Structure 1
Amino acid sequence: MKKFILFIVQIIVTTLVVAILLDSFYTYVFLNNNNRNKIEFVINSNPKKYDVVFLGSSRANNHFDSRIFSNQGLTVYNYGISGSRLEESALLLKLMIEKKYIVKNIILEIDLNINSDGFSNGTRAMFMPYLKEYETIQNHYHSISNFNQLYYIPFYRYINYDSKIGFRELFFSAIKKKNSALNHEGFLPLINDQSPLVATDLSERSPKRNKAYEEIKTICKQNNITLIAMTTPICAETINRDYFNHIHKIYPEIYRMEDTVIDDKYFSTCGHMNEKGAIAFTQIVFDKFFKPKNKS
């Protein structure tokens, strides 16, 4: 019986030691790479200065062509992340502030991402390698249901989010394989077009006051950042475009830009513009908010 108990203890101790070693190794690799995604690009960076930063979901990632701004001499980066929600945008902004970024203007995409206080499990996963190293991330996620397991159990967070930060991503990070998400100053153009466009249905969506958006507004005010929140274009066939009127009723400061580009030729899908559409839309945004005004 004693031998059996000793054997069980040995297994437990061995498993714990291996988990601690794996946890440390994975974390070390992720802390020493900054070319796989926009989150580690911020976390593993030196302080930066930007005239303009774009934040939001895929409708920021695919809709704001940073090159329109940089060609005019502005320092700019598109930190939009496909699949992300406003909660992740808020955390990314907090990390920029912690990393001593100086940002003059933030253009924040707010449209389909404001119908709940939900989160993106896939985007959350990309913050997890840095959970124990950054108090900002700990505080942001301290109230989630499995925080204690993620924080205190060695290697648990890597197992829990294996599809995003498992061995495959570890390997690519270790060999410094660059991800296309960081090309074009963060802008990801969509090339293939759906034909015909399938209408996006917003009937089940209902805009609400959003905690993360309120947090972003507060952070910008505290750090003297000009926040420009706006909707972005969606195809003319969209069902229940009244959704955008409801956004305006809740947050009248959000600029209405969903109708600035509507021709089908500018859309890859009903909810996302192609590269031509992004160029046309970004030029409209630049001209409206940043183009020098002629002095009379």
Structure 2
Amino acid sequence: MRTVASIVALLIILAIFAGCTGNPAKSTYSVDNIGVLSLTCAPVTTSEEVLAANETYTKSRIIMHTEDGDVTMYLAAPKQPKAAIIYAPGAGENLVGHEERMVRFASAGYAFLFVDTRGNGGETAGIPFGQQLIQQDYSRFENGKMPQYYLIICDLISAEKMLSARYNVPVYAVGSSNGGRYAAVAAGVDLQFAGYVGISTSDWGVQDALVRQRYTANPIRFATSLEPGTYVNRISPRPVWIFHADNDPIIPFESGKEFFAKAGEPKTFLIFSGDHGINPDVDRQILQQWAQIYAPRG
């Protein structure tokens, strides 16, 4: 007969091996018959390095440790922000072009989190959006594996949870160009986002291209799940702001208007000076819009 001590020792050994062999949580997805994505995003952990701090704001580099690699983010925030921004950049946009913007928003009372999205050419690994990624992600979709595109949406959702827990304030999904597409999907999938701001953005056009090529069934369902237009109407009754320059050389003005037309109320379309992508005029208009929402109440 085993002694009590030997039984306890065995239980300890089993517990140790259970901890070593247990599978970590994985994100899961489903796409319904009309192509609408649903996500359950696995918990993440973060590590943070403070880069600068003064009386107005603190700037830090945050690494989000996910099930499929690290995602780099940069945060500028006052001690008690009125609201927070999860910013998804356009293709090739890096932090350098947003340093002043982050300070501008933090100084106005808003936390600004720059997410270096997967495949954008920055510090976070991944494949840029294009034919290679679409083919790879469709293969993963067909085999029940998590596409990179869906992982990017989970990254934005996880960032929202992080800022919401940290500050307990409204968190908005904001993005420029390609980033505006990811941000629209995230805001439509996750009801915890307070609203959405899209700049110089539209649908990808993948679904339309496949329809023209007479694809049906799963390819169309997958392509539909990628399109921001599938989700922008699901953001309502949370607010939507769409910014577009009337002489945009990359995403035509009319494409921006068509995208805006798919959104539900309340929604606002604003023309800005410039050509393509977020710029100081967009910053000014966002801050003007939000000043009316977050002005001190007497």
Q: Indicate the TM-score class for this superposition, using the shorter chain for normalisation.
A: 0.3 to 0.5
Greater length-normalized contact order (CA 8 Å, ≥ 6 residues apart): 1
What TM-score do the two structures reach when normalised by structure 1? 0.38
Say which structure is richer in strand.
Answer: 2
Say which structure is richer in helix.
Answer: 1
